[in-house]
Amino acid sequence: MADHYEVLGVARDATTDEIKKAYRRLARQLHPDVNPGADASERFKSVTHAYDVLSDAKQRQQYDRGGQGGGGFDNGQFGNFGDIFETFFGGGGGGSRGPRSRRERGQDALLRVELDLDEVIFGTHRDIEVDTAVVCATCSGTCCQPGTAPVTCDICHGTGNIQRAVRSLLGNVMTSSPCGSCRGYGTIIATPCVTCQGQGRVRARRTVPVDIPAGVDTGLRLQMPGSGEAGPAGGPNGDLYLEMKVRHHDVFSRDGDDLLCTLEIPMTSAILGTTTSVSALDGDIDVELRAGVQSGEILTIKDRGVTKLRGTGRGDLRIGVQVVTPTKLDHKDRELIEAFAARHKVPAPSLSHFQQGLFAKLRDRFLG
């Protein structure tokens, strides 16, 4: 079998346009209606088959790897004549595709929804106000004034297409193009609806109820099928996409399904230990601090984080401890601290591994 690239006279790295131009040139020379010779007929078959293979990306890739590509051709066929006519004239091979429908799918819509962190824990309900296209209440999407209906186009007689005979090297060829009178619809709206101007839809505000699941995070998009814009002429609605944005919280931050926060305690509570109640996003929590707790320690409260978006259960609440050292001491307080230091013989300060402050220490323990 001859090499397809040699048959078309193109290089192996030829572009799709170069292959198409080469095929046009050879097809004009070798088509049986133009060149009735037996040799020309065989060459036309080879040219057509080579073009069928090389113009298809998958078949061309297979052929370049050493495969046949295209599976051969029947000696009783000259290929797809409709493709040849379309290549030459930009239209079909004379067949009418029928009128196109005025009904089209509406566009999708994208809205941003801002949530507080406490709404994310268990999910929430929102009524979203959407400025969108809705079906015209006057004509119910028919585009016609009530009591009227579309009439058949008297130019194309309802086909939506105009057929013309075009003279070419192959003889007279019938081409089809959309009717300019009805724009390919096959019908004309003689009395369009005055409310929607014959569009079948109008702009309006409507309320969309949304149940936002627990566990969503910033950037997540929820798809609501059929809640987007109504299509022209009563066509189906597009989809509505809601992009989540969780607002910053002054106390709590988030790491996946876990909640993070810092608990500041006085030096005396760190030394003696204590039990305290803190206000979480979903109620109060009793936190027990052992005697001698250090800054940077992490207390984990199970199942008090964010409800998992996929799966069951909740994340944890992780509390970083920060011991607050007093900065202002009266005379008596200072004497007590000095007596404590003298009694316990506090070791002198010494160098240790570098830490960029408490927050870096907490971050490393939170996230690592």
Binding residues: 136, 139, 153, 156, 179, 182, 193, 196
Distance of CA 122 to the CA centre of its chain: 26
Distance of CA 166 to the CA centre of its chain: 45
Q: Where are the alpha helices (DSSP H) in the chain?
A: 4-8, 16-30, 38-54, 57-64, 81-89, 117-122, 267-272, 331-344, 357-367
Tell me the CB-side half-sphere exposure of residue 17, using CA atoms within 13 A. Answer: 0
Total number of residues shown for the chain? 368
- Nearest one of 97, 11, 84 to 44, comparing CA atoms: 84
Work out the angle at residue 193's Cα, subtended by the Cα atoms of residues 191 and 198, and round it to the nearest 5 degrees. Answer: 90
Residue 192 bridge partners (DSSP): 144
What sign for the dihedral angle of Cα 277, 278, 281, 285? negative
Strands (E), 123-181: 124-135, 151-152, 161-168, 171-178
| Cβ count within 10 A of residue 315 | 20
Distance CA 291, CA 193 (A): 80
Contact 180, 195 (CB under 8 A): no
Distance of CA 171 to the CA centre of its chain: 49
Q: Which tokens go with 260?
A: 């993070």
Q: Which tokens go with 300?
A: 């984990």
Q: Which residues are annotated as a binding site for Zn(2+)?
A: 136, 139, 153, 156, 179, 182, 193, 196
